[in-house]
Amino acid sequence: MRIVHVIASLDPAQGGPPVVARNLAAAQAGLGHDVRLAAEVVVGTSSVPTITLPRHTASVLWQQPTAAALDLVRNADVLHLHGIWEPVLLTVARAARSAGVPYVIAPHGMLDPWSLSQKKWKKRLALTLGFRRMLNRAAGLHVLNSDERDLLAPLRLTSPCFVIPNGIFLAEFDPPPDPQRFRDRRPGPGDRPFILFLSRLHYKKGLDLLAEAFSKVAPRHPDVDLVVAGPDGGAETDFRNRIAGAGLNHRVWLTGPLYGPEKLSALSAARLFCLPSRQEGFSMAILEALACQLPVVITKDCHFPEVAAEGAGRVTSLSPDAIADALDGLLSSPEERNSAARAGRALVEGRFTWPRIAEQTIRWYVQLGQPGPGVVN
């Protein structure tokens, strides 16, 4: 099968979608399929051939598909679009329709109510001017969990939803990453235990909640630091000010973005992982933490209920007190941490590996020509 994944940017600083597009494409290629990646911004390397597309602007709302988009779809059996609001996705979808090639769209959480409430009027206008048509004419919507599917209901879209999660490559975590690489980093926590936040430093990731939660936890656990890793998405200054106001500068380490072995080393060295997010589609950082046998504290808005169901950590409300209590409980109980570490790794091995997920997507693509809506779980 000839598959093309299309995304505006493959820069890992943009968060999870570029990582997902790369890894899903690689896993499908590993099954023997002819897979390509296509993006306007190409950063880093990939194990599958990658096409650099010209930049597209909002003018595509009123234009026929670009020549680059028509060339891209001409030899594809299916196109997998990642994201929503990018002009390049709109023009590729139109090109696919004109060529009679089915396309699917992975919104990556961008259509849930919290996301739609950000720049609300701009997104409503975009839906009216063409993006709703792009969604409704898709062969299917690739949602990452049942919560995301249910949150789409108010939009009354007509394309069927297929629930297929994200995954990891187990080989990246076997043997376990070496924690010493991160512990040797200076400045940093050294040999002190630490809680790890790993994501973009953006308001939706709940850094304000984390700052308040850590200010409550710090006196109870004077030996534990906090490491915040990720590119600044606009929330770094506010977070620094909150930490300084709490008098905790000497116990909080901002590392900037971590990638590859350095990221895995940080996950392996941490005592707990915390992502107090206001909204997630399906966090790759949570999966990676679980694969590193790291207990997690996340909010219900991360849409990962399996963490609580399988005992891999704690799921809380969007409350600094609740987050602090969850962190305190796990820090105070080595037995619970050890149990959560084993449960998290088992959860990932059983349900969230890329080869397994690639097989699910291929079965889904094969179904695209069959009549009638449906949901694959």
Structure tokens given for 366: 């094969």
- Cα–Cα distance measured from residue 86 to residue 13, given in angstroms and rounded to the nearest whole number: 17
Q: What is the pLDDT along the chain (377 residues), one digit of tens a residue?
A: 999 999 999 998 888 899 999 999 999 999 999 999 999 999 877 889 999 999 888 877 777 888 888 989 988 999 999 999 999 999 999 999 999 999 999 999 999 988 898 999 999 998 988 899 999 999 999 999 998 999 999 999 999 999 999 999 999 998 889 999 999 988 899 999 999 999 999 999 999 999 999 999 999 999 999 999 999 999 999 999 999 999 999 999 999 999 989 999 999 999 999 999 999 988 999 999 999 999 999 999 999 999 999 999 999 999 999 999 999 999 999 999 999 999 999 999 999 999 999 999 999 999 886 543 333 33
Supply the pTM of this predicted model.
0.86
Beta-bridged to residue 50, according to DSSP, are 37
Domain residues of the chain, as ranges?
2-167+354-367, 170-351
Sign of CA dihedral 164, 168, 169, 174: negative
Domain 2-167+354-367, CATH among 3.40.50.720, 3.40.50.2000, 1.10.3720.10, 1.20.1630.10: 3.40.50.2000
Give the model's pLDDT for residue 375: 38
Contact 332, 311 (CB under 8 A): no
State in Å, rounded, how far the first CA of the chain is from the last one: 22
User: 170-351 belongs to which homologous superfamily?
Assistant: Glycogen Phosphorylase B; (3.40.50.2000)
- Interhelix angle 16-30/284-291, rounded to 10 degrees, is 60
Give the model's pLDDT for residue 369: 61
Give the model's pLDDT for residue 16: 86
2-167+354-367 and 170-351 have identical folds:
yes
Give the model's pLDDT for residue 58: 80
- Cα–Cα distance measured from residue 78 to residue 6, given in angstroms and rounded to the nearest whole number: 11
Give the model's pLDDT for residue 68: 84
